[in-house]
Amino acid sequence: MATLHSLLALYGALDDAVVAVDDPNVTARVEAFLPGTTGPGRQGWFDDIRRFVRELSVDPDQTEFPSRTAALREFAEMRSTAAVQEEVGIGPVEMARFLYVVGAHWQLTSRAEVERELFAEALAVAVPGATGPVSRTGGQALLELFGGNFEGREDFDAVIETAANQNLVSQEVLMYVRHVSFEFDIRRDACGEYAVLRAEYFRDGLSVSKVKRVADPANWPRCSPFFCDMKPIPKTPDSYGWSRVLESISTLCGVVPGYRLRTAIKYWKGERTDGAFVNYDIDDDRANTADDGFTILDRGYINFEKEKRGVRITTLKEVKFAGVPAIATVMFAVIGGYAAIGESMLVGCALNPPSGLVGWKVSASTGKPAKPFDPTVCASLPAAGAPCGCQQPISPTVAEAVDLWADCVTEVSTEYAGLVNHWAKCGFEPTEMVDFGAKVSARLATDPWRIFGLMLGGGPQPKGH
C-alpha cells in the first residue's frame, strides 16, 4: 500500500467536500481542522494537486488518488494483515496525521452504522498490540474519543493524550504530537506566491551527534517515505564546495509506474558550538542534470541545537512549483512529508539509524564561487568556511525577522500604490482610505513586536516543553 498517497487522499477528500457540498457548515467544520484552506482562492487545492501529479506521472491512470472510502479500507486492511501493530510499518509522524484526518472526517459523516464500522476498522491500525479483539475494540474506542472531544485543531493534543493513556495509540505518537510546532505562510514576490513552512521539534534524550549521523540529505530516503532517491551529482570547481544531489520525491515511492518530482539541489553542512545545520537551495547548474524543471523555488535550512534535556530541530522551507497554487503546495509538502524531514530524523532515524548511512562531514570552500560577488545579494562577508549565500551564521529567527519586516513594508507600499492607481482611474473614495489606514495601524501596532520577539529568539515553542 502507498501510505502517503492514501493519506494525502484523505486530506484531499476534506477539500472535495467543501467544493462539492458548498455548505457553510461543512466549510466551517473543515476550516476548524485545516485553517486557511477553505476561503476564496484556497478551496479546490486538491484538484490542483491531482493535476500536478498527473503531469509528473508516467501513466496518470496508475497514480489516481483513492476515494475516502477506498483509502479507509486500505488502512483497515493493513491492520488485518499484520500480526501486531508494530508490523504495520507506519511511523509516528504519518500515524499522527492519519489519526487527525480520520477524526476530522468523522465530524462530517452521518455516523450511520456502516460508516461507524469502516472508521473503527481503519482506526484499529493505530492500536498497539496484537491484531484481533483488542485492536477491534481499540478502534471503536478511538472513534468514540473523536466523536465526543474533537472539534478542531486545538483539541487534538488532548484527544491523543487520552488515547495514549488508554493504550489506544503508541507513546511514540503521543511524544511526537506533544513536541511538534508547525506554521505555514504564503508570501509573494515579483514572480508570484510561494509557500513558506516552518517547524520545530524537540526530543528528550537525543544528542546532536546522533542527529548528525543521519542529517546528510543523501540519507533522507532512509528516513522518510516521501524521499525516493538522492543521487549524487559530481562537484565542479564552480560548485564552491556545496554538495550536489538529484532529489526525487513522491507519495508513491517504490510504485512502478508512478511519478517522481526531480530537483537538483545543493547543500552546505556546518557546525557551531551548540549544534549544526544544513542549508540547501536549488542547484546553480540544473540544465546539465535530470532535473525536470517543475520546481521553481526550493531553499531552506535544518538547524539542530543541543538543549539541556535533548535536541531541538528547527526547519524552514520556501517552495514553489510551476503552475501549482501556493496553498496546494503547502498541503502537498506538509502531508506528503516534503517539509517533515526534521521530525522524521528526530522520531525515527536518529534513534534507530539504518545501515549504510552517509557520514557527517562539514562542508569546506573549494574552487571558485559559482557567480561573481554581488553586494546586493550578499551584503556582508560570509563566515569562515561558508560560501556567500549560506544562511548561517545569521540565526534562522533573525533572518526570518528581516524577511517579515521587509514583507510588511513591501505589502503596505504595494497596497498603497494600488489604491493610488485605482483612485486615479476611478476617483477618490474616502472609505477606502479609512480602511487602508486601519490596516496600516494594525500592522504597525503588532508587526514590530512580533518581529522583535523573533530576533530575541521568541519563536513558537513546542508543546509540552
Q: Cell digits for 121?
A: 476498522
Write out pLDDT tens, residues 341-400: 677 776 678 888 888 899 999 998 886 655 543 333 323 333 333 333 333 333 444 445
Query: In this structure, which amino acid lies at residue 268?
Result: W
Q: Cell digits for 343?
A: 521530525
Question: Tell me, what's the pLDDT at 247?
Answer: 97
Percent pLDDT > 90 in the chain is: 52
Q: Is residue 445 pLDDT above 60, yes or no? A: no
Question: Tell me, what's the pLDDT at 410?
Answer: 54
**202: β partners:** 312
In total, the chain counts a number of residues equal to 465
Angle, helices 396-426/430-455, rounded to nearest 10 degrees: 170
Percent pLDDT > 70 in the chain is: 77
What gap in Å lies between CA 455 and CA 187, rounded to an integer? Answer: 20
Q: Please give the helix or strand (H or E) that residue 376 lies within, else none.
A: none
Write out pLDDT tens, residues 154-211: 999 999 999 999 999 999 999 999 988 888 889 987 778 899 999 898 888 889 999 9
Yes or no: say if 250 and 332 are a contact pair by the CB < 8 Å rule: no
Question: Tell me, what's the pLDDT at 238?
Answer: 74
Yes or no: say if 278 and 264 are a contact pair by the CB < 8 Å rule: no
Least trusted range by pLDDT, from 109-123, 148-162, 331-345, 367-381: 367-381
What gap in Å lies between CA 270 and CA 362, rounded to an integer? Answer: 5
In CATH, the number for domain 181-351 is 3.30.530.20
Q: pLDDT grade, residue 110 (50/70/90)?
A: confident
| pTM to 2 decimal places | 0.79
Q: Cell digits for 305?
A: 541545537
Q: Is the model more confident about 366 or about 413?
A: 366
Mean pLDDT, residues 124-135 taken together: 93
- Residue 262 CA neighbour count, 13 Å, CB half: 18
Contacts of residue 108, Cβ cutoff 8 Å, sequence gap at least 6: 14, 17, 26, 29, 30
Q: Is residue 402 pLDDT above 90, yes or no? A: no
Q: Which of 111, 178, 165 is nearest to 140 (CA)?
A: 111
